[in-house]
Amino acid sequence: MLLRELVEKKRVCFHKGFDTWEEAVAASCQPLLDDGSIEQAYIDAVIGCVKKYGPYIVFAPNIAMPHSQEGAVGVNDTAVSFMKLEEPVHFEEGNPEKDAKLFFVLASKDHDEHMKNMEKLANMLLTADIMDALMNVKDEEELLALDAKYSEL
């Protein structure tokens, strides 16, 4: 499943919370910046798109998927990262539907690889038990245990 791959590639991070959604988006991208999959320009593009178009990256309560367009500037490799916050970040004040604690960053250079990542992510996100469990994970070890439990996905 996708979770094991993310842990093995060191594309996961855990934080208490952030004062702004911009800080949260930047932190969620950090593992991909660290491994060279993206450059700072991609993070800036994602933040710029949210400022321009609103919190489109929050597609369900507590779940954000920071991304920009396929082949965007600053993308060196197709990749996914995961970040879990203990406290939600607010993308739209007063609207809890636009709060997020789980972040799945998508960076796309190759369409076919991107579609495979999207399929893996969709399978995981459509499984309510996994989403409930992800809301409570505290570290990489718990992610791996969750991956083992749902390894058929």
Q: Which residues contact 87 (CB under 8 A, 6 or more apart)?
A: 16, 17, 101
State mean pLDDT over 42-64: 94
Report how far residue 153's alpha carbon sits from residue 151's, in angstroms, rounded to the nearest whole number: 5
Q: Which residues contact 136 (CB under 8 A, 6 or more apart)?
A: 142
What are the pLDDT digits (tens) for 58-106?
Answer: 988 999 999 987 567 899 998 999 999 999 999 999 999 999 999 999 9
pLDDT at 124 (0 to 100): 81
Report percent pLDDT > 70 for the chain. 97
State mean pLDDT over 43-61: 93
The least confident of 9-13, 47-51, 102-106, 128-132 is: 128-132
Report how far residue 53's alpha carbon sits from residue 9's, in angstroms, rounded to the nearest whole number: 31
pLDDT at 19 (0 to 100): 97
Instruction: Phi first, then psi: give them for residue 55, nearest 5 degrees.
Output: -80, 55
The residue that leads in pLDDT, 120 or 106, is 106
Q: Out of 3.30.420.40, 2.60.120.10, 3.40.50.720, 3.40.930.10, select the CATH number for domain 2-147.
A: 3.40.930.10
Name the band, by pLDDT with cuts 50, 70 and 90, for residue 112.
confident
State mean pLDDT over 96-125: 86
Mean pLDDT of the chain: 91
Name the band, by pLDDT with cuts 50, 70 and 90, for residue 148.
very high
> Does position 1 have pLDDT exceeding 70, yes or no?
no
